């Protein structure tokens, strides 16, 4: 079962992923405004509970990271900052799973609640489990952006 991504520009997500990303940039000495450039998100909106952002806005900030020539470990550092508690009720539901199998099933089923930048699915075999990123951000104009998004996504699952 694959997840379905929402339309790229529908503002329906709290800016927690964008906030984590620019926080990592700040740790590397990059101004928050430079990370947010062209995204339509301001520094003041990052902690505003009423602000909604889109997958496209998150992708714009990811592109900025690539253009700014950030540390190659940046996507992994961002993923490390995205604890399950950052995902609200989705994260709480994941924490409540009694098995890894249930966690994966629930994670895929409701992934669209987590600012999804890639569709995910998983397949269980007798001796292994395989994650698949079937569309790998189809609208991505560059290999670098696809890699960044997949690297940051896999660390936060």
Residues 33-52: pLDDT tens digits?
A: 999 999 999 999 998 889 99
- Distances in Å between the Cα of 47 and the Cα atoms of 52, 67, 85, 97, 108 are 11, 25, 15, 29, 27
Separation between Cα atoms, residue 148 and residue 155, nearest integer Å = 11
Query: According to the model, what pLDDT value does residue 154 have?
Result: 66
Q: Which of 20-24, 83-87, 130-134, 136-140 has the lowest mean pLDDT?
A: 136-140
Q: How confident is the model at residue 153 (pLDDT cuts 50, 70, 90)?
A: confident
- Nearest CA-CA partner of 105 in 94, 92, 89, 118: 94
> Residues 73-126: pLDDT tens digits?
998 898 888 888 777 788 889 999 999 889 888 888 887 777 777 777 888 899
In this prediction the pTM is 0.78
Tokens representing 156? 């936060």
Q: Is 97 exposed, middle or buried (0-12, 13-18, 19+ CB in 10 A)?
A: middle
Q: How confident is the model at residue 7 (pLDDT cuts 50, 70, 90)?
A: low
Separation between Cα atoms, residue 4 and residue 146, nearest integer Å = 17
Separation between Cα atoms, residue 81 and residue 45, nearest integer Å = 19
78 close to 32: Cβ distance less than 8 angstroms:
no
On the question of pLDDT at 137 being above 70, the answer is no
Q: Is 7 exposed, middle or buried (0-12, 13-18, 19+ CB in 10 A)?
A: exposed
On the question of pLDDT at 129 being above 90, the answer is no
Query: According to the model, what pLDDT value does residue 42 have?
Result: 95
Q: Which of 17-31, 47-61, 88-102, 126-140 has the lowest mean pLDDT?
A: 126-140
154 close to 130: Cβ distance less than 8 angstroms:
no
146 close to 137: Cβ distance less than 8 angstroms:
yes
State which H helix or E strand residue 121 sits in. Answer: strand 121-124
Query: According to the model, what pLDDT value does residue 45 have?
Result: 94
């Amino acid at each position: 079962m694959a997840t379905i991504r929402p339309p790229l520009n529908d503002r329906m997500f709290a800016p927690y992923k964008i906030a984590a990303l620019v926080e990592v940039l700040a740790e590397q000495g990059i101004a928050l405004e430079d990370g947010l450039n062209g995204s339509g998100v301001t520094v003041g909106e990052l902690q505003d509970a009423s602000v909604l952002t889109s997958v496209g806005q998150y992708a714009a900030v990811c592109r900025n990271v690539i253009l700014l020539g950030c540390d190659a470990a940046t996507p992994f550092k961002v993923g490390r900052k995205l604890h399950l508690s950052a995902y609200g009720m989705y994260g709480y539901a994941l924490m409540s799973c009694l098995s890894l199998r249930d966690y994966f099933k629930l994670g895929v089923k409701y992934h669209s609640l987590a600012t999804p930048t890639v569709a995910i699915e998983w397949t269980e075999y007798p001796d292994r489990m395989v994650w698949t990123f079937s569309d790998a951000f189809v609208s991505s104009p560059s290999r670098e952006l696809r890699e960044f998004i997949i690297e940051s996504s896999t660390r936060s699952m």
